Structure 1
Amino acid sequence: MAKKDAPRLYLIDGSAYIFRAYHALPPLTRASDGLSVGAVAGFCNMLWKFLEEMKGAEAPTHLAVIFDKSEVTFRNKLYPEYKAHRPPAPEDLVPQFPMIRDATRAFNLPCIEMGGFEADDLIATYARQAAAGGASVRIVSSDKDLMQLIVEGVIQLYDPMKNRILGLDAVMEKFGVGPEKVIDAQALIGDSTDNVPGAPGIGPKTAAELINTFGSLDAILERANEIKQQKRRETLINFADQIRLSRELVTLKDDVDVEEKWESFALREPDPAMLLQFIDAMEFRTLGRRVREHFAKEKGVQIVASYTSAAPPLAPVHADDGAPRAGPVLEEIEREFKPDAYKIVRDLPALEDYIRRAKLAGAIGIDTEADSFDAMRAQLVGVSLSLAANDAIYIPLQHRGSESRAGELFAAEAPSETGALDTGTQIGLSAALAALQSLFEDASVTKVGLNIKWDIALFAKHKIALKAFDDPMLASYTLYGGLDDHDKTSLIEKHIGHGLTPYANVAGKGKAQQTFDLVPIEAAAAYSCEHADAALRLYRKLSPELASNHLITVYETLERPLPPVLAAMEREGIKVDPQMLSRLSGDFAQRMLQYESEAYGLAGKEFNLGSPKQLGEILFDELKLAGGGKTKTGAWSTDAAILEDLAEQHDLPAKVLEWRQLSKLRSTYTEALGAAINPQTNRVHTSYALASTTTGRLSSNDPNLQNIPIRTEEGRRIRDAFIAEKGNVLVSADYSQIELRLLAHVADIPQLKQAFADGVDIHARTASEMFGVPVEGMPKEIRSNAKAINFGIIYGISAFGLARNLGIAREEAAAYIKKYFERFPGIRDYMEETKAFARANGYVKTIFGRRIWVKGIQSKNPSERAFGERQSINAPLQGAAADIIRRAMVRLPAALAKAKLKSRMLLQVHDELVFEAPKEEADTLCKLAKDVMEAAPEPAAILSVPLTVEAKAGSSWGAAH
């Protein structure tokens, strides 16, 4: 029994509070911006009620809130199926998790979680430690799994909903045994919720009977042959190993090496200003009134509304001394940048002290520096962290050479000498990363970085998983996709009004440019800290805008989850056959020479086929072909569209087009891919950009693997050069006609929806609907015309464009389009409504809520406005297709892990995903990829048209497509 004057430690099961708050209350959104806050509101009310009720002799002297971390624990390593069938958290709840951590800190309470362990393990550890230290412990939860911790008079379980202590009687009622035997009972019973197998057919009553008869689980298993009931006896004998595994799974680990000690959980009163800043920001008016009344009555403190903006940053802002302070953050964001205030950390104690401050901050800015812009080749040189404006540090890790020029900040020329690693002025790499790992993998602290995918990739090389990250670049893309540039320099200039120091100012430019490991440490610190500082300011600026524009869910489900997925894909890369590329390159070169020779004959002289000027003069000045036009510089235009039109008059333009295609394929792929092979991995590693296209599609760079033509023989031959490692195959999983399916859904076209539901040829069905021709025995040209119209309509094609594509008269093409709209009036309605929405708002939306801003839609220039209108028609469809494949990509890594597959996702190319798999996994992977991709829209958008994914395996990418 604990002494009467002993410390009283209360441990609140925060994860249980969250789900009880979420499911007990109806959905709640913040009035000003529609942000889902129901779970946050419930959590805050439950916490306030609990603190108000725990008074007098029952009041805690120490208290902490314990949370689960959303990651794999040691139990999953023992048994991968542990909790494997649990559904993911509701989409509107996920964004509330960090806000609930912020709420806990606003109440001035410790917010405790730890990677690799469940909240119950931490509760068990703190309960045992506190009890051993003479404290009494009260666990605030009704979770049956915690009943094994109960010790009469020392460790209690308290159900806050029923306001009762769960003691020995409650344990006996639940399990039929005392707390010391709960683990044995649970090992036999199992747990369907957590997927603990237990002993098949043995329930609570039988388990209690066996334990009370034999005394323990070990005795039961040792003497199982004595049990008279045959079925029970055979179960215990045949499933003994499974039962022992179940015991390991249900046993709470009470010796976790926790960082915070329970003695540090001394109960502290909430700071009125900090608490009310959070409550007012969340617009919890009733709770705010109660809290104000409490402080006015108990403390004589009168506090008016502490924050008037619709959605302030949720993480507390820190003053220069590290102590939290309340108030608006606008001044913080706009404060002048002061490089002299940044500090260089050269010893471990100083770094550890800053990390302790960072863990209290809620959100920190980060920036990493490396010796290469290629993530696969880059080595980490330094890391900067920022807690607030001008409160940033730089941690040099692998700078080389003399620091004699360290005072020359932002010097443009290279240093005069280089040398070995200067270990005397830097923390050892392994020691620094070991200290930083606890911060970077702490999900209670948001790590904010511009282009966070780069930082994730660099830290992954050192086995550090960046958890709870945020990227203002992606927030900007969510807010202004299609409207602005989203590079860090442009964003900081636009939103913060500050010009970032150019890279050339510290590393030089041109031939004099040096790698960052040769940049003097002081110059590197000023440059890197500025970026970390700017990232945090931009996060605080844009986060409220996401909320006020109702785009939190878009950001949290479509943007923020992707960086680690893409970083892993980039790290995997894909193998190419350099000999096949060389043969292709030689073949293309020979054919180019043949086209050149034929072009010379048609032109009557030799000329440079790659020169638009020379080509234009031959086509229009010498051959006098009709239909020419000049550029702004006065030269003849010879783009592909013009050459395609001219090909009807003369053979020369067609030869030039053939030559251009091969030239581009040769320079971009057959020559460049070989040079792009990484010598360490012998694979090609592309880089994906998340915030570069208008509609949400990813772009591929260095090398670009998304522009290899699939409908030409040459493009297919290039794909044949992408191969699997020995013993493996490549799997291509491709959405079939996804944009047409989305059109049928959003425009609500019954005929098209039925065709897709029936799985019939959509183009033949369209031709049949338009021209009254039976599907069976339909002439190919009629189907081809319908196909051209189907795809053309998506892109807002004109009669002129359709006429050119089909090689028919413009009047005939116009008649086709008119008939199409007459037969499918819903498409015309969709187009007109979408254009009207775009003109009124400046943007269009996908079915998932993504905004795509349309430049030129309100222009007075007719051609610009017409282009904007065509874009507005296609953007919701192409954007939704991009959203769907993003959702699939986010879900696939977990699905592969759950299925215990060695297969890995390598590439994303428009509507296609490419994997590499052991041959024996190919069929399983094809089915898994198909299932995940086809279900990707749900539950955010339930389509009225089924999605179809074609998945196929082959030794090469070409063979798999």
Structure 2
Amino acid sequence: GEAGGGEGAGAGAAGSTAQAAPEGAVATLADDGSHRAAYETIMDWPAFERWLAKIEACELVALDTETTSLDPFAARLVGISFAVAPGEAAYLPLTHVGEQAQLPLAEVLARLQPWLESPEHAKIGQNLKYDQHVFANHGIALKGVAHDTLLQSYVLESGKDGARGHDLGQLARRHLGLETISYESLCGKGASQIGFEQLPIEQAAPYAAEDADLCLRLHARLYPQIAAEAGLARIYGEIEMPVRDILFRIERNGVLIDAAQLARQSHELGSRLLQIEQDAYAAAGQPFNLASPKQLAEILFTKLGLPVKKKTPGGTPSTDEEVLSELALDYPLPKLLLESRQLAKLKGTYTDKLPRMINAASGRVHTSFSQSAAVTGRLASSDPNLQNIPVRTGEGRRIREAFVAPAGSVIVSADYSQIELRIMAHLSGDERLLDAFARGEDVHRATAAEIFGVSAQEVGADQRRVAKVINFGLIYGMSAFGLARQLDLDRGAAQSYIDRYFARYPGVARYMEETRMKARDRGYVETVFGRRLWLPDIRASQQGRRQGAERAAINAPMQGTAADLIKLAMIAVQGWIDRASLATKIVLQVHDELVLEVPDAELARVREELPGLMTQVATLKVPLAVEVGVGGSWGEAH
């Protein structure tokens, strides 16, 4: 499984204590000093049969894999570890290089397969989604995943002060007061790091067995705390654990990419970047390196005499994005530089890179979704990150056009409409806001009518734009200063807009004040479903940090509830697909949207059922709305 935390307790002692212990066992991991854990290394069939009988009889077995790679699609088994009780664990080495006779991989897996694939035999692990991929690479469908300590920690202490991470080493230190054997202490780090399969078995075994052992110990410490709180038990048992399995399937499905189309886009972006470079030289009156902050500052502030907006910690004028954005309003060169940066990022991150990430075996791109990266409960996508493809620019939207459906299928996108505003209406209970949603009005138009004191019919496009910025801005705790900057107004005008908004929507103002007070009181806020979002800085003496935490306190319940809803939608949609035995697949989850690959023959049915499945996952004080789009590509489906 995971590369763990700190230096190994008793890692060096393994050799010296092995003689006294029973054959194949290694004593390590001093617990509280009262007993030492005895770990076993399974090297022959009698030992294997003994452990197979143990795991088959055990109510909950901790399971961990050691592998050749961190990439879940490339990883192959090096060994498997099990723990059946705290301190009672074993490592089964399978493919360590150049080592004494290990049990043969194919035969071992054939013997273990019935237990691994049994839904009745409960298993626990740390980030078992990864191990599930590893077993799938060997043709085994892991079933019976009952618990995951990564998700337990995440549900219990996401964002909590002092809870800096959720990997096994950090959890063992935080909750058990134990130092673990670290991956780096065994395999080295950086360029000289060796693969786990290169490790001698006597070094690998204590590390691997310890991972499984710690998992059981952590479960005994963490799970009772979750079970004792109805809201947390619901988030863990009814949202995070079921979604874990759906994410495994989405990752396995992958998404089809049109590499030729991306190559064309790369070529066009390259030509455009060369043109921008020439235009920038002309605007600067000389050639220079667009990527050098030093040369940039020299040209912008010394040669062209543009106003310095802010300085770097070193005292030199800053050329960061914020500064360039401000200068771009009045001067041509900063505008060109911004455009160049945006296009270079698109080219480097997506059009050049995505075709190289196509899996040779499946012909698709397989992203990884992390459930524990974002404090709010949102999923994070990596390798490649598909959530950051910009949709505001034409070039960004075109990248989505390269996400395609195979022949005979289409891409269907189902998106919750204005979800955070609806949640704001639900949480604040503001009558005017609830009323606008209940009547199916355009909420930005309704807000504009309230703020500008005109009828909804008389609202102009500019007034609606102002209302939209205020509606979304207030969700994020935007100040008059932020609003003024976004709408290019003076602060007085921005403040009067905010005052008028709160006068017309007193429920929202009350909700915000109550939320700030509650957050200061408890140190956390909650989503509608009971997810806890901790705010370590809510009582900070430093004003900036405290205000940041107050803004987060207002926004987190909305973002977190939206995250819970999309996860409930994934569970509902996948459940329906399974029950109806459809060939439709969920291929992506991005923000408030599910992206599906749907065979033509199933399209009518999916279009008809999808909105209902997604809007009925929860009953809020406002109706939920889902927009469904269809096309040959993700871009077209929008």
TM-score (norm 2): 0.91
Pick the aligned partner of 2:233 from 552, 564, 573.
Answer: 552
How far does residue 619 in structure 1 lie from its aligned partner after superposition?
A: 3.1
Matched, 1:517 2:197: yes
SS of the equivalent of 2:174 reads helix
Partner of residue 402, structure 1: 98
SS of the equivalent of 2:636 reads helix
How far does residue 723 in structure 1 lie from its aligned partner after superposition?
A: 0.7
> Does the 8 Å CA contact 1:645/1:804 hold for their aligned counterparts?
no
Larger Cα Rg: Structure 1 or Structure 2? 1
Matched AA of 2:108: A
Partner of residue 255, structure 1: none
Partner of residue 626, structure 2: 949
Matched AA of 2:494: A
How far does residue 923 in structure 1 lie from its aligned partner after superposition?
A: 2.2
* Equivalent residues in 2 for 1:62-461, closer than 5 Å: 334=32, 341-399=38-96, 401-403=97-99, 425-443=101-119, 445-461=121-137
Q: CA 1:682/1:442 → structure 2, altered by over 3 Å: closer, same or farther? A: closer
Q: CA 1:814/1:447 → structure 2, altered by over 3 Å: closer, same or farther? A: same
SS of the equivalent of 1:680 reads coil
> Does the 8 Å CA contact 1:332/1:389 hold for their aligned counterparts?
no
Matched AA of 1:613: K
How far does residue 621 in structure 1 lie from its aligned partner after superposition?
A: 4.0
Pick the aligned partner of 1:481 from 142, 147, 158.
Answer: 158
> Does the 8 Å CA contact 2:117/2:142 hold for their aligned counterparts?
yes
Matched AA of 2:143: L
Matched AA of 1:695: T
Partner of residue 226, structure 1: none
SS of the equivalent of 1:716 reads helix
Matched, 1:889 2:570: yes
Separation in 1, partners of 2:328, 2:554? 30
Matched, 1:724 2:405: yes
SS of the equivalent of 2:63 reads strand
Matched, 1:824 2:505: yes
Separation in 2, partners of 1:385, 1:811? 65
> Does the 8 Å CA contact 1:333/1:389 hold for their aligned counterparts?
no
* Equivalent residues in 2 for 1:506-585, closer than 5 Å: 506-550=186-230, 551-585=232-266
Pick the aligned partner of 1:958 from 622, 635, 638.
Answer: 635
How far does residue 442 in structure 1 lie from its aligned partner after superposition?
A: 4.5
How far does residue 668 in structure 1 lie from its aligned partner after superposition?
A: 0.7
Matched AA of 2:435: Q
SS of the equivalent of 2:598 reads strand
Of the structure 1 ranges 676-685 and 607-616, higher mean CA displacement relative to structure 2 is found in 607-616
SS of the equivalent of 1:366 reads strand
Matched, 1:464 2:141: yes
Which runs of 5 or more structure 2 residues have no equivalent in the other structure? 1-20, 23-28
Partner of residue 639, structure 1: 320
Pick the aligned partner of 2:433 from 745, 752, 755.
Answer: 752
Superposed CA deviations along residues 782-821 of structure 1, whole A, max 9, x for unmatched, are 1111111111111011111111111122211111111111
Number of residue pairs aligned between Structure 1 and Structure 2: 607
How far does residue 603 in structure 1 lie from its aligned partner after superposition?
A: 2.6
Q: CA 1:635/1:445 → structure 2, altered by over 3 Å: closer, same or farther? A: farther
SS of the equivalent of 1:560 reads helix
Partner of residue 26, structure 2: none
SS of the equivalent of 1:943 reads coil
> Does the 8 Å CA contact 2:117/2:140 hold for their aligned counterparts?
no
* Equivalent residues in 2 for 1:595-606, closer than 5 Å: 595-606=276-287
SS of the equivalent of 1:958 reads coil
SS of the equivalent of 1:960 reads coil
How far does residue 526 in structure 1 lie from its aligned partner after superposition?
A: 2.1
Matched, 1:762 2:443: yes
Matched AA of 1:632: P
> Does the 8 Å CA contact 1:332/1:537 hold for their aligned counterparts?
no
Of the structure 1 ranges 680-689 and 521-530, higher mean CA displacement relative to structure 2 is found in 521-530
SS of the equivalent of 1:952 reads strand
Superposed CA deviations along residues 902-922 of structure 1, whole A, max 9, x for unmatched, are 001111001011111111212
SS of the equivalent of 1:837 reads helix
> Does the 8 Å CA contact 2:86/2:217 hold for their aligned counterparts?
yes
Matched AA of 1:949: V
Separation in 2, partners of 1:761, 1:788? 14
Matched, 1:793 2:469: no
Q: CA 1:854/1:625 → structure 2, altered by over 3 Å: closer, same or farther? A: farther
Partner of residue 602, structure 2: 921
Separation in 2, partners of 1:611, 1:486? 38
Q: CA 1:639/1:928 → structure 2, altered by over 3 Å: closer, same or farther? A: farther
Matched, 1:497 2:177: yes
How far does residue 859 in structure 1 lie from its aligned partner after superposition?
A: 0.9
Separation in 2, partners of 1:843, 1:624? 48
Which runs of 5 or more structure 1 residues have no equivalent in the other structure? 1-319, 322-330, 404-423
How far does residue 584 in structure 1 lie from its aligned partner after superposition?
A: 0.8
SS of the equivalent of 1:373 reads coil
How far does residue 632 in structure 1 lie from its aligned partner after superposition?
A: 2.6
> Does the 8 Å CA contact 2:62/2:83 hold for their aligned counterparts?
yes
Partner of residue 64, structure 1: none
How far does residue 933 in structure 1 lie from its aligned partner after superposition?
A: 1.2
Superposed CA deviations along residues 341-394 of structure 1, whole A, max 9, x for unmatched, are 322113333223223223443222211112121111222221100123332111
How far does residue 866 in structure 1 lie from its aligned partner after superposition?
A: 1.1
> Does the 8 Å CA contact 1:333/1:538 hold for their aligned counterparts?
no
Separation in 2, partners of 1:929, 1:618? 55
> Does the 8 Å CA contact 1:888/1:933 hold for their aligned counterparts?
yes
Superposed CA deviations along residues 752-799 of structure 1, whole A, max 9, x for unmatched, are 222222222111111112212222253110111111111111101111
Q: Which has the higher contact order (CA 8 A, sep 6+)?
A: 2
Q: CA 1:855/1:632 → structure 2, altered by over 3 Å: closer, same or farther? A: farther
SS of the equivalent of 1:540 reads helix
Superposed CA deviations along residues 614-652 of structure 1, whole A, max 9, x for unmatched, are 333433344443352223333433332222222233222
Superposed CA deviations along residues 425-481 of structure 1, whole A, max 9, x for unmatched, are 222333322333343344554322111111122223423332142111111111111
Separation in 2, partners of 1:505, 1:796? 45
> Does the 8 Å CA contact 2:422/2:624 hold for their aligned counterparts?
yes
Separation in 1, partners of 2:615, 2:95? 46
> Does the 8 Å CA contact 1:348/1:432 hold for their aligned counterparts?
no
Partner of residue 250, structure 1: none
> Does the 8 Å CA contact 2:83/2:216 hold for their aligned counterparts?
yes
Could you tell me the percent identity over the aligned residues? 44
> Does the 8 Å CA contact 1:885/1:936 hold for their aligned counterparts?
no
Matched AA of 1:430: A
Superposed CA deviations along residues 256-312 of structure 1, whole A, max 9, x for unmatched, are xxxxxxxxxxxxxxxxxxxxxxxxxxxxxxxxxxxxxxxxxxxxxxxxxxxxxxxxx
SS of the equivalent of 1:884 reads helix
Matched, 1:684 2:361: no
Partner of residue 781, structure 1: 462
SS of the equivalent of 2:90 reads strand
> Does the 8 Å CA contact 2:83/2:90 hold for their aligned counterparts?
yes
Q: CA 1:546/1:621 → structure 2, altered by over 3 Å: closer, same or farther? A: farther
Q: CA 1:438/1:635 → structure 2, altered by over 3 Å: closer, same or farther? A: farther
> Does the 8 Å CA contact 2:537/2:549 hold for their aligned counterparts?
yes
Separation in 2, partners of 1:769, 1:930? 31
TM-score (norm 1): 0.61
Of the structure 1 ranges 822-831 and 631-640, higher mean CA displacement relative to structure 2 is found in 631-640
* Equivalent residues in 2 for 1:602-613, closer than 5 Å: 602-613=283-294
Of the structure 1 ranges 342-351 and 942-951, higher mean CA displacement relative to structure 2 is found in 342-351
Pick the aligned partner of 1:802 from 473, 483, 493.
Answer: 483
